[in-house]
Amino acid sequence: MYTFELPEIGEGVVEGEIVQWLVKPGDVIAVDQPVCEIMTDKATVEISTPKGGRVAQLHGEPGDVIKVHSPLAEIDTDGAGAAPSNGVSKAPVEAPVEAPVAKPAKAPIAAAPTTPAPPVSSGAKSVATPAVRRRAREMSVDLGAVPGSGKGGRVLHQDLEQFVRAPVGVPQSNAVPSGHEEHIKIIGLRRKIAEQMVKSRFTAPHFTYVDEVDMTVLDDMRKRLKPRAAERGVKLTFLPFLMKALVLTFREFPNVNANVIEDPLTLVVKGDMNIGIATDTPQGLFVPVVKNVEQKSVLQLAAEIQDLTTRTREGKVKLDELSGGTFTITSVGAFGGMFATPIINHPEVAILGINRIHERPVVRDGQIVIRKMLYISSSFDHRILDGAVAARWTTALKQVLEAPETLFWEQL
């Protein structure tokens, strides 16, 4: 019997969290076959076994944090051993395997064991990660027959589990029946996000300042430029204009483009303007960073934003593209609403919240006219930035957005 221990997986890494098991007791595995995914503070990686055989026992469950050199699995290298009755066997959870980035996981819902439903030959093309497809093959489930609950109809691990538990012919439902409750262990990226949010909220005293911006002129400019950008294969959104507006305001208020060191308390004002974009993905929230915004044109920024956010949603973003931010933009405009109170992406000292643009009546020169209005809601670290500074900075940003021709002054 060979005891496979968690190997050293990076300089300075002493422990990792089990995100998901890729094998179960009783499986016959080959040399260098991945057996689990481990999340560290730096990345999520697949851990492969140096020896083949039959898995006799797994140590730990998804969500457990284990030390380097702790036992991961017992492997019968003769291949004849049977899985013990007390071996851990947990269904894998959703996490893409392609990208070397932190990925979330959702704990499986506890339920009585059932016999997997027979595969249905639907012939439909399904959307799923390689890990989900592998798990479907192991479960003899046709992915084309599984309703996907992920973004764009993506089939998730929990969709597979629900599919095989449901009786044949019974409609699928994600609702928890009356009288029941569902316990979901918070693990993986979701736990990392929670820890970061708690640290930010209780380390930096937040305050949020809200103002409204007339986006009518900027929207007209963007619409005129969209066809020219499209000719170059670039989708022109409001984000590159917002970034260039931030550059102008950071020239006047450099302390907003900064990081903070907690011990000793030190403000690090940044010359590079590296702006993160909070991005909603099927795997959770990521913040890819556009580096050196001050050196790039609106068109260059639009192309980079399009590429970066697309690769982030596909799980192909690189680890260094998720770090080094000096300021963050978060947008909830696609979901409606008036404004939100965003949480600072620590160790940054401020974050800009962008909300939905509403057409509504306003008074201009004594006349009621229809304008495209936007609420911006920014949060600040009150230890570093006073309310008066935040108000003046927000006003400066508003002035640039309402007179967007000033965005091109640096090119004149």
Q: Confirm whether 386 is a catalytic residue.
A: yes
215-225 residues labelled b (16+ CB within 10 A) or e (exposed): bbebbebbeee
In angstroms, the CA 234 to CA 214 distance is 25
* 82, two tokens: 């049977």
User: For the domain 204-411, what is the CATH code?
Assistant: 3.30.559.10
pLDDT tens digits along 17-69: 998 899 999 999 999 999 998 888 767 788 999 999 999 999 999 889 999 99
What is the predicted pLDDT for the residue at 329?
Answer: 97
Predicted confidence (pLDDT) at residue 186 exceeds the cutoff of 90: no
In sequence order, the 6+-apart residues with CB closer than 8 A to the CB of 256 are 249, 250, 327, 349, 350, 380, 385, 389, 393
What is the predicted pLDDT for the residue at 333?
Answer: 73
The single residue of 32, 78, 272, 386 carrying the catalytic annotation is 386
What is the predicted pLDDT for the residue at 103?
Answer: 38
pLDDT tens digits along 94-142: 333 333 333 333 333 333 333 333 443 344 456 777 667 767 776 767 7
Query: What residues does each domain of the chain span?
Result: 2-185, 204-411
In angstroms, the CA 6 to CA 93 distance is 20
Q: What DSSP string runs through 319-371?
A: GGGGS--SEEEEE-GGG--S---PPP-TTBSEEEEEEEEEEEEEEETTEEEEE
What is the predicted pLDDT for the residue at 59?
Answer: 95
Residue 381: closest CA among 256, 137, 174, 204: 204
- CATH number for 2-185 (one of 2.70.70.10, 3.40.50.300, 2.40.50.100, 3.40.50.410): it is 2.40.50.100
Per mean pLDDT, which range of 36-50, 294-308, 377-391 is the poorest? 36-50
pLDDT tens digits along 146-167: 888 776 677 877 777 777 665 4
